C-alpha cells in the first residue's frame, strides 16, 4: 500500500510539473508561420511583407525586420518622357530593410506587416536641368523576415520584377 501511495504522489507531482511548464514551453520556441508570412504587395518602388510569429511570451515587444535585395535602374528622362542622347543612368544593387516593434498578444503571437522601399530617384541620380530622375526598373529578391530579439527568421521564395528602361 505504501508503494502505491508513493507512485500516486510521484505521478501527481510529475503531472503538475508538466502542466506548470506548458506555458513556458509554448513561449519557448519562437518561429514564423510559413503560410502566413508572405509578400502581399510588390511594386517598382516597394515590397510589403505580412508575417505571423508564434511561440513568444505574452506581451513581449519584438523588433521585426524585413530585408530584401534590390537591383534597380534609375535614369534621367527629358520632358518628352525619353532618355536623352547622352543618357545618365545609375544601376544600384544592395540590401534594403525596414524594422518595427510589435507586441505579442496574450496567445504569444505577433501579426504585422512591413514595407521596404527603394531609394528615391533624386537621391540616386543627379539629372541636368530639364530632366527628371526616374526609377525605371526593379527586381526584388532574397526577401527575409527576422525577429531581432529571438533571432527567429524565415526566407521567402520569389523574385519580383517591374518596369523597363526608358529609351
Separation of alpha carbons 139 and 159, rounded Å: 7
Residue-number span of the structural domain to which 126 is assigned: 26-163
Q: 8 lies in a domain?
A: no
The CATH number that applies at residue 48 is: 2.60.40
Separation of alpha carbons 108 and 86, rounded Å: 57
Query: Which pLDDT band holds residue 4 (cuts at 50, 70, 90)?
Result: low
Q: What percent of the chain has pLDDT over 70?
A: 84
Range of weakest confidence among 1-10, 68-77, 134-143:
1-10
Q: 110 lies in a domain?
A: yes
Range of weakest confidence among 36-40, 82-86, 125-129:
82-86
Mean pLDDT in the chain? 87
Contacts of 167 (CB under 8 A, 6+ apart): 82, 83
Q: 53 lies in a domain?
A: yes
Range of weakest confidence among 47-51, 87-91, 159-163:
87-91
Q: 81 lies in a domain?
A: yes
Q: What are phi and psi of 79, to 5 degrees?
A: -60, -25
Domain count, the chain: 1
Query: Which pLDDT band holds residue 97 (cuts at 50, 70, 90)?
Result: very high
Task: State pLDDT tens for residues 53-65.
Answer: 999 999 999 999 9
Query: Which pLDDT band holds residue 146 (cuts at 50, 70, 90)?
Result: very high
Q: 102 lies in a domain?
A: yes
Whole-Å CA distances, 160 to 23, 52, 109? 40, 22, 28
Indicate whether 26 pLDDT > 70: no
Q: 17 lies in a domain?
A: no
Indicate whether 148 pLDDT > 70: yes
Determine the pLDDT at residue 165: 83
Q: What are phi and psi of 26, to 5 degrees?
A: -65, -35
Amino acid at each position: 500500500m505504501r508503494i502505491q501511495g508513493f507512485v500516486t504522489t510521484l505521478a501527481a507531482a510529475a503531472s503538475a510539473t508538466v502542466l506548470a511548464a506548458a506555458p513556458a514551453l509554448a513561449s519557448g520556441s519562437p518561429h514564423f508561420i510559413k503560410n502566413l508570412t508572405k509578400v502581399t504587395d510588390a511594386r517598382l518602388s516597394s515590397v510589403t511583407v505580412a508575417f505571423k510569429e508564434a511561440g513568444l511570451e505574452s506581451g513581449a515587444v519584438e523588433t521585426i525586420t524585413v530585408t530584401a535585395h534590390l537591383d534597380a535602374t534609375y535614369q534621367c528622362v527629358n520632358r518628352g518622357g525619353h532618355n536623352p542622347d547622352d543618357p545618365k543612368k545609375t544601376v544600384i544593387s544592395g540590401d534594403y530593410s525596414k524594422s518595427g516593434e510589435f507586441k505579442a498578444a496574450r496567445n504569444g503571437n505577433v501579426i504585422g506587416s512591413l514595407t521596404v522601399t527603394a531609394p528615391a530617384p533624386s537621391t540616386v541620380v543627379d539629372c541636368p536641368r530639364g530632366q527628371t530622375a526616374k526609377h525605371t526598373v526593379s527586381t526584388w529578391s532574397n526577401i527575409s523576415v527576422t525577429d531581432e530579439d529571438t533571432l527567429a527568421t524565415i526566407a521567402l521564395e520569389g523574385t519580383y520584377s517591374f518596369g523597363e528602361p526608358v529609351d
